Amino acid sequence: MTTTEQPSQVDIDKLMQFVFRAVDEVGATLNTALVVMGDRLGFYRALAGAGPLSPAELAERTGTAERYVREWLNAQAAGSYVGYDPDSGRYTLPPEQAVALTDQDSPAYLPGFFQIALGSMLDSPKIVDAARSGAGFGWHEHVHDVHEGCERFFRTGYNAHLIAEWLPALDGVVAKLERGAQVADVGCGHGASTILMAQAFPNSTFTGSDYHSGSIETARSHAQEAGVNSRAHFETSAAAAYSGSGYDLVTMFDCLHDMGDPVAAARHVRGTLKPDGSWMIVEPQAGDRIEENLNPVGRAFYSFSTLLCTPASLSQDVGLALGAQAGEARIRDVVTAGGFTRFRRVAETPFNAVFEARP
């Protein structure tokens, strides 16, 4: 005779709370596409500072179809992204949302965050297949929204903190940059960090590198547009094989955890630095224990790590797969395994932790 274990009593109230939470999350997921839509069609920019507008007025200002605009506005109003006045039938963009959705110079600027999330979801079927086999999925294989969204999101933080806070927190580095230093920016992507440093320190020269040739082409174009292409050069190379030596500073922005063999990259950094050089490592903010990261920021980074960072590392040799929530202790282990004797946290934001490593 066999017995079947009965399920525990289901609390109907808790079940429905979860169901309605799930409904809210589906709406938030769909809103990712709507924010990117609003950014691309200029809806937020047209609403910013314009006062109350009807769907027809917003459609006229943006050269779009009123019926689509009306539905988009209602979805935005339901999510409290815009305000709605039922008496006039008009919609407004609050000033706080206007900053977050239209001001590219603000550290709170969010469209890039939504764009990289949308690109990640577009590629998610490929990650499902990779998870079945344990294979990786390289950064270069992702859709353009992942690459461009990544730059747009992280650039706002670099603009706000890199020159004013992070570099001054390093031991003697700003003085070297002001006199004239050699800098390698490894894993530079579209070159936002490289170009920003080149603009701030005209006596120094910068070499950005990334294994993705498409990103390097974009970085070169951006450097030319910024007028720093004579001092900011870019090459396609892996993190453990970038060219040059005798660097005063090596930087890595939000990329060490994506590497297949970060220890090999650390050893290469050690071999290309001057004896008194510095390595600045910017990584996603994370605690060392899982429970420290069970919060909204940790949730976003764990999600990006599942869809982007872990597959990227697994697509490379070694495939250590640190993940976007590696935490300080694991980063320290990588750095010391690479031959560095000094390691310290020098700065942080809600989204990033900044470390300095010295030989």
Specify if 110 maps to a domain: no
User: How would residue 1 be classed by pLDDT, with cut points 50, 70 and 90?
Assistant: very low
Instruction: Measure the CA–CA gap between 102 and 259, rounded to whole angstroms.
Output: 33
Res. 265 pLDDT band, cuts 50 70 90: very high
Q: Are residues 222 and 337 in the same domain?
A: yes
pLDDT in tens, 12-52: 999 999 999 999 999 999 999 999 999 999 999 999 999 99
| pLDDT (0 to 100) of residue 4 | 52
| Strands (DSSP E) found in 227-302 | 232-236, 247-253, 273-284
Domain for residue 235, yes or no?
Answer: yes
Residue 239 contacts residue 308 (beta carbons within 8 Å): no
DSSP helix/strand/coil, 4: coil
Would residue 2 count as lying in a domain?
no
Q: What is the pLDDT of residue 5?
A: 55
C-alpha distance from residue 78 to each of 28, 128, 153 (Å): 11, 32, 25
- Give me the number of domains the chain comprises: 2
Distance CA 294, CA 215 (A): 32
pLDDT tens sequence across 140-154: 999 999 999 999 999
Is 138 a member of any domain?
Answer: no
Same structural domain, 19 and 163: no
Is residue 119 situated within a structural domain? no
Give the residue numbers spanning the domain of 217: 153-291+317-358
| Distance, first Cα to last Cα, the chain | 69
Q: Percent of the chain at pLDDT above 90?
A: 97
Number of residues that this document lists for the chain:
359
The CATH number linked to 251 is 3.40.50.150
Cα separation values, 86 from 51, 52, 77, 92, Å: 15, 11, 11, 12
Residue 127 to residue 177: CA distance in whole angstroms? 41
Q: Say if residue 200 is in the same domain as residue 334.
A: yes
Of the candidates 103, 131, 165, which is a domain's last residue? 103
- The pLDDT assigned to 8 comes to 73
CA distance 331 to 357: 10
* Nearest of 164, 174, 161 to residue 350 by alpha carbon: 161
Do residue 214 and residue 321 come from a single domain?
yes
| Residue pair 91/73 in contact by the 8 Å Cβ criterion | yes
Q: What is the pLDDT of residues 221-256, one digit of tens each?
A: 999 999 999 999 999 999 999 999 999 999 999 999
